[in-house]
Structure 1
Amino acid sequence: MAPQNDTTVTEFFMITFTEHPEWGLPLFLLFLSFYLFTLLGNAAMLLLIRKDRRLHTPMYFFLSHLSFVDICYSSAIVPQLLAVLLHHGVLISLAGCAAQFFLFTFLASIDCYLLAIMAYDRYVAVCQPLLYVTIMTEKARSGLVVGAYLAGFSSAFVRTVSAFSLTFCGHNEINFIFCDLPPLLKLTCGDSYTQEVVIVVFALFVMPLCIVVILVSYLFIVLAILRIRSAGGRSKTFSTCASHLTAVALFFGTLIFMYLRDNSRQSSEEYRVVSVLYTVVTPMLNPLIYSLRNKEVKDAVMKILNRSKTLRMS
C-alpha cells in the first residue's frame, strides 16, 4: 500500500486497530455495541429532555446539545473504525481524511465549549441563584450555544486548511484509529513549521480556555459551598454539579493524557487504546452519567415507565 518515497500521497491506508489480528472480530462486536449504546443513550436523552417539561431548564438545554454533538462525534469516528477492524484496514481518500479531521476537530471543540458553558451555568445557579433566571434567559443560552458552534467551526476550518495544505509523501499508512493530526504529521514532507504553528495556536486556544473557565467556575462554586453551614445543604448543592464534574474529568482527562505524551510514543497500541476512551467510550457514558446522578432525569424516566405500564394494563 505504500507508494515510492517521491510520490505524493492522494489516499491513506488506515491499518488495523490492534497488532493482534485475532482480536479483530471481538473488538468489532465490542465497539459496535458501544456505538449502538451511544446512539440509543443520547437519542433517549434528547427525547426525554424534549418530552418532560421539568427538564426545560438551561442545564438540560445545554445537555441536549451535548447529546446531539456526541451522536455526531461518535458517528464521525466509529463506523470507519468498525470497517478497519472488519477488513483489517481500509483505504480513505485525501478528501475523506480531511473531512473526518474537520468533523472530529469541529465536534470535539464544541464538546469542550459546551462543558465550559455548563460549568458557567452551574456557577450562576450556585453562586447567583436569585439572578439565575434573569442571567440564563432563553436568548442568553441560545447565544452561548450558537457561539460554541461558530467557534468550533472557525477553529476546525483553520486547522483543517492548515493541515491539508501540507504535502504528504512517502508511505501512506496511518497507524491510528482515525485521521488525527499527530499521525498525519508523520507523513508530511517539506517545511511544515508555519502550518504546525497555526494548528497548535488554535488547539491551545480551545482546550486551555475551556479548562480555565471550568476551573474558575468551580473555584467559586467550592467557595460558595464551603459557606453553607449545614452538611446536608453542602451535599445537596454539590450533587447538582457531580454529573458535570464526572463528564469533565472523563473527557478532558483523556485528552490531556493523550496530547501531553511523548511524540515518540504516539503510534503505540497504548496510545490508540487511550484515544478510544474519548472517541468511543466518553460519548457512550455521558447519558449514563447524567441519568444516574440527576434526580430530575431519574424522575422523568420513572414517569415515562409508569405511563407505559399504565397504558399496557389499560
Structure 2
Amino acid sequence: MTTTYAVLSEGLEKRFGDVHALRGLDLAVAEGTVCGILGPNGAGKTTAVRVLTTLTTPDSGTATVAGHDVRDAPGAVRRAIGVTGQSASVDGELSGRENLRLFTRLLRIRGAAGPARADELLERFELTDAADRSARTYSGGMRRRLDLAASLLTRPEVLFLDEPTTGLDPHSRNQIWDAVRDLADRGTTVLLTTQYLEEADRLADDIVLIDQGRAAVTGTPAELKARIGSYAEVVVADGSAMLPAAAVLDQLTGAEPVLDHERRTVGAVAADPSLTLPRIVRELDAAGVPVVDASLRPPTLDEGFLRLTDRSPVCRNTREEHAA
C-alpha cells in the first residue's frame, strides 16, 4: 500500500543571522493523520511551520504541502491550508460572528456561502450563544476556539496548529483537543507543534522530536515510549536512604538513577524487559533500604524526550552535589 504524504520535507535549512534555526529537517506526514512536532523552545518548531506555510523561504532543501511546492507554488499551498498561530488573530472589538464573516470576505467566499459557513463553525465550536458578543469579552479558550474556527473556513486539506493551547486552563485545553481529534477523524491532516507532551500523547498518530533544528527521533507515542523501556521508581523513608537506593537501581537497570531529594524518590530507566517489581523490592530489602513505595511503569513522553534527545534532567545532578 502506497502512503500519500500531505506534508513532505527533505533537508530544510534556515538561518537568521548567526542562528541556525533548521539544520536539515526531514518530515513526512501522512494524509488524514495528526503529526505532533515536539521540542524545547528554540528547537525550530515555529520556523518549520513558517517555512511550510510559505511565510518564510528556506535557505535550502525542499518541501511540499498538499502536493504543492512551497517555493514554486506558494499560492496553491496557501489555498490548501489553514493556520492557527501561537497568538489568537481575532479582532477583540468585533463579535465572534463578525470576525468569521470578515475572514470569509478576506478569503473570497462568495455570496451566502460565507455567512452560512461562519454560522456552521460557530455552532460546531459551541460559540453560538456568544456569537454576537465582542470577542474581547471571550475567555482565552473561547478566543482560541474562534481562532481555530477561522482557520477552517475554507475546509483546508492541511491544518497547522502552532502551540494552540499554550496558556489555557485544563478545561479549555480539553475542548481544543476534542476539536482537533474531530478534525482528524473527518480526514483533515493536522500538523501540531507543542511543548505539552501530554497533548501529543493524546492527539498524535505520529511524533517527531525536533532538537537543534533536526528531526532527532520519529515514531508513534507508543513506539517512542517503548524505546526507553520501563521506568523504575522508589520512594524511600528518609533522605539517607536515597544513595543506597540509587546503588540498587543502578545495579539492576544499568542506567544512571535520577534523584529528587524533595520528593525522596529515586528513579531509573529499565531497558531489560525481564526486570520485575518483586525483584526490585527484594533487592532493596536485601540492601536494607527502607522503602515507602515502589513502582515499575511505562515511561512518560517527558522521560522519553529527555532520554531520546540525550538531555539530562536537572535533578540528576543532585546526586553528585549530595555526594560532594
* TM-score higher than 0.5: no
Larger Rg: 2
- Provide TM-score, normalisation by structure 2: 0.23
Greater fraction of residues in strand: 2
More RCO (CA 8 Å, sep 6+): 1
Greater fraction of residues in helix: 1
